[in-house]
Amino acid sequence: MRAEAAFFQEVWQAFWAAVFPRKCLICGKLEGMAVEARSSEVGAWPEQMAVWFCGTCCRSIAPVVPSFCVRCGRPYASRQGPGHTCLECLTRQWYFEKARAFGLYQGSLLEAIHRFKYGGKLSLARPLSSLMRRTFETFWEKESVDMVVPVPLHRRRLRKRGFNQAYLLGSGVTGKNGIVLDGRALYRRRKTEPQTGLSREQRQKNIRRAFAVRWPERVQDRKILLVDDVFTTGATADACAQVLMEAGAARVDVLTLARTV
Ligand SMILES: [Zn+2]
Ligand SMILES: [Zn+2]
């Protein structure tokens, strides 16, 4: 019976592949979908990604692997030894407890984020949010978070883009685990200029006080996981964490899909 089921499944898959040949969602190529597994702390992720991404694109994705800063998740050049706190985290105070990311913001992960965010390729929402879920499961106990809050866009930008990429990514973390997704708890009260090309000081100045909590009672005593697409200097995440903590959140952690080094 099982062999029969497997046979029909194979026939069905062959039929499906012939009618709808799979295209890599990042580079658009038809052939050579990824088969090869690559081990990382996030598990053998390309096996799942093979449905969506080709082998070449999977190989150019670099997951964040140990060791990295226990606080901000900054990866170290050395792959050996336990994680420790990086120099920046030793000398400054963050409002969030810890930040983790799935991979480095380069190669085809960068390409995927650009296509998703600026190109409006919403078919990437599923694979990318599933990477968010796997990263969440790797670095957090599910009891340590009860609410997911995406970094908000300004309403004018949201209207222009039509979706908030952070919200779609964050939806991967919630579900049957009882964690709620609240896309309205936090809002952006003034439009900030794009952060690209700004120095660290300029970014911090640019972002400070750009966010506000809409309903403090909704975040009070909550263990919040703030989600976004990319962690660059941490200025955006920390500005959000600050207003959430000031509104009474119990703690704020940060999960992003990618991270710059
Ligand atoms: Zn590809
Ligand atoms: Zn650090």
pLDDT, tens only, 13-30? 666 666 666 789 999 987
CA distance 62 to 95: 28
Residue at 176 is within a domain = yes
Output the CA 191–ligand 2 centroid distance in Å. 28
Please, which residues have CB less than 5 A from ligand 2, an ion?
Answer: 69, 71-72, 74, 86, 89
Residue at 53 is within a domain = yes
CA distance 34 to 51: 8
Output the CA 108–ligand 1 centroid distance in Å. 8
Residue at 3 is within a domain = no
Please state whether the peptide bond connecting residue 60 to the residue before it is cis, i.e. omega within 30 degrees of 0: no
Ligand nearest to the CA of 109: 1
Beta strands in the chain (DSSP E): 99-104, 147-150, 180-181, 186-188, 211-213, 223-231, 251-259
Output the CA 62–ligand 1 centroid distance in Å. 14
Ligand nearest to the CA of 60: 1
Output the CA 54–ligand 1 centroid distance in Å. 4
Tell me what pLDDT residue 10 has.
72
Residue at 61 is within a domain = yes
Report residue 191 as tokens: 């439009």
> Hey, which residues does 259 pair with through a beta bridge?
104, 231
Q: How many other CB atoms sit within 10 Å of the CB of residue 210?
A: 19
Tell me what pLDDT residue 37 has.
45
Tell me what pLDDT residue 77 has.
80
Ligand nearest to the CA of 33: 1
CA distance 158 to 39: 37
pLDDT digits (tens, 9 = 90+) for 174-226: 987 889 999 999 999 876 666 677 777 777 777 877 999 999 999 999 999 99
Model pTM?
A: 0.85
Tell me what pLDDT residue 42 has.
52
pLDDT digits (tens, 9 = 90+) for 32-81: 555 544 545 455 565 678 788 888 888 889 999 888 999 999 998 876 66
CA distance 221 to 146: 10
In the chain, the percentage of residues whose pLDDT exceeds 90 is 63
pLDDT digits (tens, 9 = 90+) for 126-137: 999 999 999 999
Ligand nearest to the CA of 61: 1
> In the structure, how many helices (H) and strands (E) does the chain have?
11, 7
Q: Which residues of 10-37 are buried (b: 16+ CB within 10 A; e: fewer)?
A: eeeeeeeeeeeebebbbeeeeeebbeee
Tell me what pLDDT residue 5 has.
76
Q: For the chain, give the mean pLDDT.
A: 87
Output the CA 56–ligand 1 centroid distance in Å. 6
CA distance 160 to 136: 30
Query: Shortest CA distance to 102 belongs to which of 78, 136, 54?
Result: 136
Residue at 115 is within a domain = yes
Output the CA 29–ligand 1 centroid distance in Å. 6
Query: Shortest CA distance to 226 belongs to which of 165, 157, 166?
Result: 166
Ligand nearest to the CA of 92: 2
Tell me what pLDDT residue 130 has.
93
| DSSP summary character for residue 44 | S
Question: What is the 3-state composition of the chain as percent helix, strand, coil, each rounded to the nearest 5?
Answer: 40, 15, 45
Residue at 17 is within a domain = no
State the total domains in the chain: 1
Residue at 4 is within a domain = no
Tell me what pLDDT residue 234 has.
94
Output the CA 99–ligand 2 centroid distance in Å. 9
- Residue 53 makes CB contacts below 8 A (sequence gap 6+) with 24, 25, 26, 33, 34, 46, 61, 108, 112, 127
Q: Residue 170: which domain range?
A: 23-259
Residue at 2 is within a domain = no
Tell me what pLDDT residue 1 has.
54
| pLDDT, average across residues 165-180 | 92
Output the CA 107–ligand 1 centroid distance in Å. 11
Evaluate if residue 11 carries a pLDDT over 90. no
Tell me what pLDDT residue 209 has.
78
The three-state (H, E, C) secondary structure of 175-203, written as one string: CCCCCEECCCCEEECCCCCCCCCCCHHHH
